[in-house]
Amino acid sequence: MTEHTQTDAATQDRDKSNPGELGAFVLVLVLVAALALGFVFGGVAGLTMVMVALVPVIYIVLITISVGK
């Protein structure tokens, strides 16, 4: 009974109606995986190319966050 009460108290303040949370985690996972693969297959040059390609993606994500959608 004590564990159940602690679990409820820990998740009580969490907003469970945010559908973008899972999408944000998937986006971060894809970005980190792309950086890792770029480094493994292309070294520093591959890492640089991935970072250059991700600049517009990160820019759009930051604008979307600042707008509040």
List, for residues 27-46, the tens digit of each pLDDT value.
Answer: 889 888 988 988 898 898 88
Domain ranges of the chain: 22-69
Q: What rounded mean pLDDT belongs to the chain?
A: 79
Q: Each residue of 44-59: pLDDT tens digit?
A: 888 888 889 889 988 9
Between CA 61 and CA 23 the distance in angstroms is 11
Between CA 18 and CA 64 the distance in angstroms is 15
**Among 36, 35, 60, residue whose Cα is nearest residue 50:** 35
